[in-house]
Amino acid sequence: MSKTPLQPQDAVALVLPFCRVLLCAIIVWPFIAIIAMLLAIWFTKSALTVSLLPFFLSPLYVFRRLFNELLLSLLPIDEKRFLLAETKIQALSMLGLFSKRDKSKD
């Protein structure tokens, strides 16, 4: 049985539910973090627990980075991103750091 290659529409259908989950997490997580911090302040009766806020909000950074990477992989490349990638390849090739093997990554 021969397998057909994955079409762009299929890739979008696979990634879109994951993007929705990440978007929901990005929206809901700050509220959860603030509520958790307020509960920590309530139970400990110490204002030093405010220092826990960066710990509670650090997953938000990861969620946002994943969402951006997935979203950028789905969207068609615009002229600005194309010129940036082209300039990056030219600069690396001038320095001798860009090989044919690396061209498949960009």
3-state secondary structure the chain: CCCCCCCHHHHHHHHHHHHHHHHHHHHHHHHHHHHHHHHHHHHHCCHHHHHHHHHHHHHHHHHHHHHHHHHHHHCCCCHHHHHHHHHHHHHHHHHCCCCHHHHCCC
Which tens digits make up the pLDDT trace of 72-104?
777 777 788 889 888 988 888 888 776 655 455
pLDDT tens string 40-64: 889 988 888 888 788 888 888 888 8
* Separation between Cα atoms, residue 19 and residue 11, nearest integer Å: 12
Q: Where are the domains of the chain?
A: 1-75, 77-106
The per-residue pLDDT for 101 is 55
